[in-house]
Structure 1
Amino acid sequence: MMKLAAYPEYKDSGQPFLGNIPAHWNLFRNGRLFSQRNETGFGELPILEVSLKTGVRVRDMENLKRKQVMADREKYKRAAQGDIAYNMMRMWQGAVGVAPMDGLVSPAYVVVRPFPEVDCRYFSYLFRTASYMNEVDAFSRGIVKDRNRLYWQDFKRMTSPVPSIEEQRHITRFLDAVGSKAQRFIRNKRRLIELLKEQKQNVINQAVTRGLDPKVKFKPSGVEWIGDIPEHWEVRRLKFLCHNLNEQTSEKQPGETYIALEHVESWTGRISLPDDEITFDSQVKRFQPGDVLFGKLRPYLAKVTRSQTAGVCVGEFLVLRATGNVSADFLEQKLRSKRVIDLINSSTFGAKMPRADWTFIGNLKFAYPPAGEQQKILEHIQKKSAEIDQAINRAQREIELMREYCTRLISDVVTGQVDVRGIEVPEVAEDELLALEEDTAESDDVIDDEGDMDETD
């Protein structure tokens, strides 16, 4: 985004994790910058939570993915607006931030209030840099490394670089402004990715329902959800186009693949297997190379794939083997088309764990062309999908590069490696900051009251 210069003069900080800092900056222990707030008995205040990506925020109690039984709220700690709160067991991962309003945090948190010459937003940026989090790890104590805690007594011994309060505030405004631009860039790239994915689905839907010839004559299919089809296409129920196999087994043979729902990417069918050997203690289904696996649990996720190897899969997959009228490749694309997925999803039963039923799926009528045309359609889908995937990958890489740039820039600015004092910074509205923070939460990690992470989508 910009080329920034270094400060004119530096001095040795005496701290290996910091190296040289600007000559006019101070170096203080945190105990000289903050005091501990350890106040309880404010049960009427809202609950706050900490996200590894967006810091401290008010917990949305109505839309929690995992309902929690709250302990006695009177024992929760009060964090005043502007205080810094951090999770003792997870600060080394970035579980720290500034309280946006008066609220309550778990006893697993430490709350510190700033002295007058401290801008907490600057220190929130500093505490979430990789070098500082490594220092946090070194100061944390415990029997097991992953459960180490950074107590207040150790936090206050840690050293931080301290520019003047005016420079702290300018750095914060600069990073807020750069962050807002970066998040707008990322938001636009995400929208582009969604549009490209929709375009890819449209290519598939058009090809498997209408064919490739724009001049072809159409006829009524006799099925409302299918509509008109090319006049030379046929219509048959799915159960006559494939077999639903249910060969049960309790073991996996050497060289075979084990596939669970979480191993299949939605809408693409890409299979990503873990590196470690998988063990299971329940009955699974056996499949052969070329069989189509259709995830019947939450079918709206479109977990449809076709393995190139033999293996076993969880019972939540239907194992479908094409009978010859349609190829396995064409069957896979047809089953993963949005129109089919939406129709199957409309038939599910169960509120929390909706499942599709083979009786319904097998009785669906499918329109299909002759074998030669199926192959041409598949080649067309493969070519167009590759072009769109390339554009999606390019946009995703640009998002990654922007995030890497911002991470490095934040670290360089808050540790004094670059000088931003002379840069005019526009004010970023509070509501824009909040909206941009929400944009970062596509796969957010939230630390719960016990210090563990809940994943929110």
Structure 2
Amino acid sequence: MIHALTPYPAMKDSGVPWLGQVPEHWDVVPALAAYKSRGIKNTGMVEKTVLSLSYGRIVIKPEEKLRGLVPESFETYQIVEPGNIIVRTTDLQNDKNSLRIGHAKDRGIITSAYLCLETTDRVLNEFGYQYLNAYDLLKIIYGYGSGLRQNLDFKDIRRMPVLVPSHDEQAAIVRYLDYADRRIRRTIAAKQKLIKLLQEQKQVIIHQAVTRGLDPDVKLKPSGVEWLGNVPEGWKVKRLKAEMYNLNPVRVPLSSTERGRMTTREYDYYGASGIIDKVDDYLFDDDLLLIAEDGANLVLRNLPLAVIARGKFWVNNHAHILKPIEGKLEYFAAVLEQINYLPWITGSAQPKLTRDRLMAVKIPVPPVDEQEAITEAISNTTLPLSSAIQRTQQEISLLREYRTRLIADLVTGKLDVRGVAAQLPELDAALPEEELDVEIDTDLEGDEPETEAAEALA
């Protein structure tokens, strides 16, 4: 797709180090000439549809999520119109991974902690969004901001350089990006479906092994556990507390030198469900099994629930830390990954899997030598599937990198699309929306982690 694009014939120095050379006929203007801040309060509750910035998209927030950290009145929120550009302005210093730019498709309200922008007459709306999107994807936006937590305000970006070609050229860039983006999304969606099928096949193999063993002719007996069904006659069914210790985190006071050493990756970091977390002073040097405490992760199953941690590592206090009394760590990890934890989760606003409930879960327990045989068989049988999953995930990562580079190169004038865009076929208007609606820049789903807190403080 990109091979047909060529550089512009005449370039000039933009005067901005990171932008470098730009097309000679493009203007370089301050952001205040391209964008203007809205900030229209929802006084009188004229609008009730609550919007949320969710990993680079502006989505309607379901009513069931309007709980926990929310304001007393949504009158403090600001009104958003379709086409408005939302910038998450908070906590630049501590969070350099999230996507911060969204393009509104619906009318609604969003926290006043965010910037709501519209474009001026000089800039087409979609081009204005893609330009800021490039700033976000390239992490240039983190060079702006003020205050202790590096929050953004329009005054912080009003002098930010913006490249402005003619309206016709902006439209050509937008058309090409839309065309390319649809195909990239469709390809990623197909690869994500493949990963899902491979994971399902892998789970079938694991489930069969940890609940029935390796002998297809073995005699079975009722387990008395609904999710488990029948188990081999020689196996026992026990509560987890009979097979594993549930350890309390070991709190270790850290000196400033030791805290600094954490950043050198001398230790690994583990959190609930394997999320790499910023943690303080929980230290282990062992082979342990971590289980999420967070009920949302356990129900949605977006992440692995049973994570084996080895060696020296830090772990946050939102993970249950388990160690076998006797038996194979890998076997227990495989079993605990199969369980539906929904009946064991308590709480609604902050659903959790408590220590007592986790340790009361019943699991199948074969003899130790059979546990070892099962884990070895699982490893050998699922290796081709795991390799295929990893290879497909790498392909998705390359597609995402390609998309980021393409957006950046086009909106900063590194490649000329004028001739190519005019020859593009009509867009796939009939393409099913679900084939395009993929998480293009992250494998996670749901709200950005600080969204509710920001909305509560707005």
Q: How does 1:2-401 map to 2 (within 5 A)?
A: 2-3=2-3, 4-37=5-38, 39-40=40-41, 41=43, 43-46=45-48, 49=51, 51=53, 53-64=55-66, 66-71=68-73, 73=75, 76-87=77-88, 89=90, 95-130=100-135, 140=144, 142-144=146-148, 146-151=150-155, 155-214=157-216, 216-221=217-222, 223=224, 225=226, 226-227=228-229, 229=231, 233-238=233-238, 242-243=242-243, 245=245, 262-265=271-274, 278-279=281-282, 298=295, 303-304=305-306, 317=320, 319=322, 321-323=324-326, 327-329=327-329, 331-333=331-333, 335-336=335-336, 338=338, 341-342=339-340, 345-347=342-344, 350-351=347-348, 352-355=350-353, 364=362, 366=364, 368=366, 372-401=369-398
Give the unaligned 5+ runs of structure 2: 255-265
The residue type paired with residue 262 of structure 1 is G
Change in CA separation of 1:418 and 1:9 when aligned onto 2, cut-off 3 Å: same
2:448 aligned with 1:445, yes or no? Answer: yes
Deviation at residue 176 of structure 1 after TM alignment: 1.5
CA RMSD across the alignment: 4.7
Change in CA separation of 1:36 and 1:384 when aligned onto 2, cut-off 3 Å: same
Give the unaligned 5+ runs of structure 1: 266-271, 281-286
Change in CA separation of 1:68 and 1:309 when aligned onto 2, cut-off 3 Å: same
Q: Which residue of 1 aligns with 2:262?
A: none
Provide TM-score, normalisation by structure 1: 0.73
| Aligned mates of 2:185, 2:435 — CA distance in 1 | 10
| Aligned mates of 2:189, 2:195 — CA distance in 1 | 10
**8 Å CA contact 1:55, 1:97 repeated in 2:** yes
2:402 aligned with 1:402, yes or no? Answer: no
| Aligned mates of 2:86, 2:318 — CA distance in 1 | 45
Q: SS at 2:105's partner residue? A: coil
**8 Å CA contact 1:10, 1:23 repeated in 2:** yes
| Aligned mates of 2:26, 2:282 — CA distance in 1 | 56
1:102-126 alpha-carbon deviations (Å, 9 max, x no partner): 4445544554443444211101111
1:151-180 alpha-carbon deviations (Å, 9 max, x no partner): 2xx644433222221221121121122112
Deviation at residue 335 of structure 1 after TM alignment: 3.1
**8 Å CA contact 1:77, 1:107 repeated in 2:** yes
**8 Å CA contact 1:21, 1:415 repeated in 2:** yes
> Greater RCO between the two (CA within 8 Å, min separation 6)?
2
Deviation at residue 448 of structure 1 after TM alignment: 4.2
**8 Å CA contact 1:290, 1:309 repeated in 2:** yes
Q: SS at 2:154's partner residue? A: coil
Change in CA separation of 1:450 and 1:60 when aligned onto 2, cut-off 3 Å: same
**8 Å CA contact 1:38, 1:77 repeated in 2:** yes
The sequence identity of aligned pairs, in percent, is 23
Deviation at residue 391 of structure 1 after TM alignment: 1.8
The residue type paired with residue 386 of structure 1 is L
Deviation at residue 382 of structure 1 after TM alignment: 1.6
The residue type paired with residue 411 of structure 1 is A
Change in CA separation of 1:445 and 1:228 when aligned onto 2, cut-off 3 Å: closer
Change in CA separation of 1:50 and 1:82 when aligned onto 2, cut-off 3 Å: same
**8 Å CA contact 1:89, 1:150 repeated in 2:** no
Q: SS at 2:19's partner residue? A: coil
The structure having more radius of gyration, on CA atoms, is 1
| Aligned mates of 2:28, 2:410 — CA distance in 1 | 16
Q: Greater shift after overlay, 389-398 or 91-100? A: 91-100
Q: Greater shift after overlay, 20-29 or 304-313? A: 304-313
Change in CA separation of 1:332 and 1:135 when aligned onto 2, cut-off 3 Å: closer
**8 Å CA contact 1:33, 1:115 repeated in 2:** yes
Deviation at residue 330 of structure 1 after TM alignment: 6.6
Deviation at residue 131 of structure 1 after TM alignment: 8.3
Q: Which residue of 1 aligns with 2:263?
A: none
Deviation at residue 404 of structure 1 after TM alignment: 0.6
For these two proteins, the number of residue pairs brought into alignment is 427
Change in CA separation of 1:122 and 1:430 when aligned onto 2, cut-off 3 Å: farther
Deviation at residue 206 of structure 1 after TM alignment: 1.5
